[in-house]
Structure formats: C-alpha cells, structure tokens
C-alpha cells in the first residue's frame, strides 16, 4: 500500500530573467500530513458512502468510507493514529462544495451579535459547523443557510440556478447525484424551485426601482398546454430592469393597458416615454391612460428600426434570452405554470444574472438590491426570508 510523503513544488530550470516559477499541478502537504491545498480532482466517487482518493505519490488509491458516524480511511496515517487524514479532508472538500459563509444567527434569541465558533463535525453530507450564542449560551449547528432544510444551501441554490439556465429537472437531479453524491429526485427539485421562487417573487415585487423615464414594451409567443400564449415584457431603458411581466391569451388593448398600469403602480412616473413595435394596442392603451390619469403623461413612440435612436432592440435582446431558455422545454403544462416561470425568470434576470453590458445586475443598476455574498441566490433567499433590504450605495 502506498505511503503518504511530503512533496515540494518543483522549480523550473529556466532562470534567464531571474524569476522563479513553481509547478502547482500537485497539492502541497504540511508536516502533519494534512493538505494545505486540496486538489479535488484526485477524488473519485464510487457511491454516496464510498470514495477513493489518489495517493500523493500517485502509486495507488486510498479508500474512504462512511462508518456509522465518521469517515474512515485505510491509509497508514489514519489507521495508526485514528485521526482525520488529508484524504478525508480532500473528500469532504469535494462533497461539501464551495464555502457558503457563516450562518451563525442564534435560532433561540436571534441576536445580531455573531455567535462563537465551536468547531465542526463530520456527516455523510459534509462538514457541519458548531456555534454557541454569546448572549443566551444556546448551542446550535448550521447545516444549511435555510431553516428547516436537510441539505446544504449550495445544493439548493445550485438546483435553482441550473433550472433557470436551461437544464432539465432530471438533468439537475443527475448532476447533484454525480457531483455531490445526493440521491435527489426531480420531484424534490421541483419542490425547491416552487418554494423558494415564490418567496423571492414576493420580496422582489415589493421593490421600488429607480428607473429612467424611457420604457420598452414588447410581446412574444410561448406555448402553454399546446396553445399559443403571449408573454408581455416591460423593461427600463437605462438599467435594463424588468418592471412588469404577464402571460395572456389575447393581444388587445385591455391586456396592454393592464401591463402598463401594473408597471406604473410599481414605479411612480409622471412623464413617461414608451417605445414599442407597431402593434395598435399600445397606442390605444396609452390614449386611455392619458385620459383617465391626468397627472400622468405617456408619450408613445413606435419602433423605427434597429439603427435608430428609438429602436426596441434592448427588449428584443431580452426576448432572445427567454427563447434560448425555452428551447430546452417542450412547453408549459398550464397557464399557471407559465406565469410562475415568467415571474421567477424575472427575479432571476433582475437580481441574479449579471448583465454583460452593464457589468452588474439590473437590480444593482436600479439601486434596489445587491448581494452580500458571492452566491447571489443564497443572499437573495436569506434576505427574502428575513425581509431585509440591501441597497447598493
């Protein structure tokens, strides 16, 4: 059986410019036998209870398995000392995933003071942190960033993010099984999406974005239970913030007026310029709004082409993004499902997806919400559950 040895980084022989180059292709190990940089590419999964980690000398593989309440390894260091070796650390880093940040809010007193860390313990799903509240002395663990959930937060946010990026439900379940070792069905993924997207939508719809006085409006066709439906989108010109969306069966003046009224209720605007295509319903809806609401003056401008200043190309580009996502779907099963998806995709586009042209998310450009963490899904869900607002400076 191979033994674990200490291996230093190799230096290159070329020193013509006086610089020293290192080869980081192999992990560096300290004197205690624990890897300071764990290379997860050396981990091979057999099943959720058994893994294999490649030897540092690259002469074989060590077996890491789950035994009752701990992970055990058959390497000489772990067999002799009964301590966690570098192979178990590499495997735990592999299945635990990226660092999610501390979740040290006491569930008893819910104090704002950070709790004291009390180490961690091993589970089949990865490492679990222990905390002790400095105010009431209550000891608790942080299995996840979401209350009452068995799995870690990065597992749930990964499933939601893959869903809106175009991966099928069964494909998401297979991805979580292969990469993290969790036997999750597509039904569980559906429940996660429905639960947390509904929480996010209530939070995002209550925001008051700071938008410009020029809006774009357009409609596109989608399939719902074999029938054609119209997806209406209302977007701000400067921030690319989606102000309102709706799914309807008809494409008349009543539906166009309902979309504009929904957007004007969420954003208070006295003077507004509306850019659309040549659909007559927009002109009729703008005329009725100007007659009924005296304090509001809306100017309607028809699309004059992509090379003109008042073109509708910004919203047409968003329609292309939606079509790319819907290509992997055979259509929606019902109108209720289509409305739920469009509202969830609106929250994803505004708060999670970074805009290529702006360099930030539309919510940051509209000064409504910004993420506190690198994982924007996790930060958005936590703020939605607590009701806190994180505005950009």
- Residue 25 has a pLDDT of 33
Any idea how long the chain is? 393
- Residue 97 has a pLDDT of 55
Q: In angstroms, rounded to a whole number, what is the distance separating the alpha carbons of residues 350 and 369?
A: 9
The pair of three-digit structure tokens given for residue 173, joined into one six-digit string: 């379940």
- Residue 11 has a pLDDT of 38
Closest by CA position to 286, among listed 277, 296, 295: 296
- Residue 304 has a pLDDT of 61
Domain ranges of the chain: 40-96, 150-207+369-393, 209-364
State pLDDT tens for residues 271-325. 899 999 888 999 999 999 998 887 888 999 987 655 566 788 889 999 999 999 9
Residues lower than pLDDT 50 in the chain: 1-38, 40-41, 99-100
Helices (H), the chain: 76-81, 86-96, 153-164, 169-180, 186-205, 253-266, 280-292, 313-326, 335-347, 362-365, 376-386
User: Which CATH number applies to 209-364?
Assistant: 3.30.420.10
- Residue 126 has a pLDDT of 60
Q: What are the angstrom distances between the C-alpha of 77 and each of 118, 119, 121, 248, 316?
A: 26, 22, 20, 66, 61
Q: In angstroms, rounded to a whole number, what is the distance separating the alpha carbons of residues 197 and 160?
A: 9
Indicate left, alpha or beta for 44 from its phi (over 0: left) and psi (-120 to 50: alpha): beta
The pair of three-digit structure tokens given for residue 325, joined into one six-digit string: 């996502």
State the burial class of residue 178 (Cβ atoms within 10 Å of its Cβ: 0-12, 13-18, 19+). Answer: exposed
State pLDDT tens for residues 89-129. 888 777 665 544 555 667 677 666 778 877 766 665 566 77
List the beta bridge partners of residue 220: 231
Closest by CA position to 190, among listed 175, 168, 174, 223: 168
The pair of three-digit structure tokens given for residue 169, joined into one six-digit string: 């439900």
């Amino acid at each position: 059986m191979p033994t674990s040895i200490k291996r230093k980084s190799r230096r290159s022989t070329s020193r013509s410019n006086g610089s020293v180059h290192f080869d980081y292709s192999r992990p560096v190990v300290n004197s205690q036998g624990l890897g300071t940089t764990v290379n997860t590419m050396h981990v091979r999964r057999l099943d959720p209870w058994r893994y294999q980690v490649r030897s540092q000398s690259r002469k074989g593989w060590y077996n890491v398995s789950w035994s009752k309440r701990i992970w055990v390894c058959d390497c000489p260091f772990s067999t002799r000392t009964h301590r966690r070796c570098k192979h178990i650390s590499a495997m735990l880093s592999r299945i635990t995933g990226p660092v999610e940040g501390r979740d040290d809010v006491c569930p008893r007193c819910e104090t704002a003071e950070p709790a004291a860390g009390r180490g961690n313990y091993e589970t089949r799903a990865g490492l679990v942190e222990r905390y002790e509240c400095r105010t009431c002395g209550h000891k608790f663990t942080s299995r996840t960033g979401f209350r009452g959930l068995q799995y870690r937060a990065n597992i749930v946010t990964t499933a939601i993010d893959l869903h809106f990026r175009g991966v099928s439900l069964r494909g998401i379940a297979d991805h979580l099984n292969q990469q993290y070792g969790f036997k999750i069905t597509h039904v569980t993924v559906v429940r996660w999406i429905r639960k947390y997207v509904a929480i996010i939508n209530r939070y995002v719809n209550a925001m008051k974005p700071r938008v410009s006085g020029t809006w774009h409006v357009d409609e596109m066709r989608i399939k719902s239970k074999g029938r054609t439906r119209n997806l209406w989108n209302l977007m701000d010109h400067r921030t690319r913030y989606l102000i309102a969306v709706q799914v309807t069966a008809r494409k008349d003046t009543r539906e166009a007026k309902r979309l504009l009224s929904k957007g004007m209720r969420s954003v208070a605007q006295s003077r507004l310029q509306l850019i659309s295509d040549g659909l007559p319903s927009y002109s009729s809806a703008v005329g009725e709004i100007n007659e009924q609401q005296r304090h509001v003056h809306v100017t309607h401008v028809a699309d004059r082409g992509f090379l003109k200043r008042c073109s509708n190309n910004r919203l047409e580009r968003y329609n292309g993004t939606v079509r790319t996502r819907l290509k992997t779907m055979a259509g929606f099963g019902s109108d209720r499902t289509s409305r739920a998806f469009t509202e969830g995709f609106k929250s994803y586009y505004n708060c999670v997806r970074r805009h290529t042209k702006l360099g930030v998310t539309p919510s940051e450009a509209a000064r409504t919400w910004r993420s506190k963490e690198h994982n924007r899904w996790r930060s958005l869900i936590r703020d939605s559950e607590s009701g806190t607002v994180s505005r950009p400076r």
